[in-house]
Amino acid sequence: MHIGLIGLGKMGFNMRERLRKGGIDVTGYDRSPDVSDVGSVDELLAAVPAPRLIWVMVPAGEVTDAVIGELAAKLDRGDLVIDGGNSRFTEDQKHAALLSVNGIRFADCGVSGGVWGLANGYGLMAGGDATDIQRALPVFDALRPEGDRADSFVHVGGVGAGHYAKMVHNGIEYGLMQSYAEGYELLAAKDIVTDLPGTFRAWQKGTVVRSWLLDLMVKALDEDPGLASIDDYVEDSGEGRWTVEEAIANAVPTPAITAALFARFASREDNSPAMKMVSALRQQFGGHATRPAT
């Protein structure tokens, strides 16, 4: 199988490598010539055999809109576009409609795994027509971890469902990180606790709160005890906001996720050890930039 991949940033670059290791031929295009296989989208489309499968892995919003618009004008009937970025689910219907005018297929896929996906594989949440998802299964199988497909891949539903599931996933992630971070701050505030990193390390096996996020928390403390080099300013990518907006629209109470989002807003005003930990965790799993301590 031979696919095109547009966008070779933090995620796309590693995804290209994992796909190739999984037996998928990949022609990648990026505006940075240092990482791109070809010099333009036109060259990429010429290199990928028809019917083409083009995976888009660029920042959500205007950049994704521009790429989808260009593909709508240049692809052929029967080609398939998969948006694997963090687009809002409401944009998927617009992109599918734009492409369908020329008989081009569309699917969306929420991708989780961050900078660790190359080695560990990615969790995948796909939305679209069953025929299109079946066609792309070799790609999904190369990207996901080894083992049962159902443990790391799901066809959630129609167009937009994959990004909706990823949005909720990220909202849950907000709440989990905030809980760990607040526990960190509470332990750090008590003078009778003399081994803070060791406490979290002891939770990694056998306790109900063990998780990969906890493992990354221990790693962050090993690398920077006290998190002295990290500022407590925590950015939000937008998906937490969208999750809260959807909760309001559907009258679903999400107090933990909402509070975690508001805590990120508060981090931009106050000095907080808890928010230093949230920033450190985002860097650990996603390679998100942190602000240096001032």
User: Which among 43, 91, 173, 245 is annotated as catalytic?
Assistant: 173
Q: Is 94 a catalytic residue?
A: no
pLDDT of residue 102: 96
Position 163 scores a pLDDT of: 98
Burial 50-70 (b: 16+ CB within 10 A, else e): eebbbbbbbebeeebbebbee
> CB-side exposure of 36: number of CA atoms within 13 Å?
13
- Could you say which of 70, 74, 94, 166 is catalytic? 166
C-alpha span between 136 and 14 (Å, rounded)? 19
pTM as predicted: 0.88
User: Edge-to-edge strands of the sheet including 25-29?
Assistant: 25-29, 2-6, 53-56, 80-83, 105-112, 123-127, 153-157
CA 294, CA 280: separation in Å to the nearest integer? 16
> Would you call 70 a catalytic residue per the annotation?
no
- Closest by CA to 293, choosing from 221, 234, 231, 224, is 231
Q: How far apart are CA 207 and CA 203, in angstroms?
A: 6
What contacts 24+ positions apart, CB below 8 Å, involve 87-91? 87/60, 87/61, 87/163, 88/60, 88/163, 88/167, 88/238, 88/242, 89/127, 89/160, 89/161, 89/163, 89/164, 89/167, 90/160, 91/60, 91/64, 91/65, 91/163
pLDDT at position 232: 67
CA-closest candidate to residue 111, choices 176, 178, 156: 156
3-state secondary structure of 186: helix
**pLDDT average per 10 residues of sequence, the chain (294 residues):** 96 97 98 96 98 97 97 98 96 98 98 90 98 98 97 98 97 93 93 94 96 92 83 74 95 94 78 74 68 59
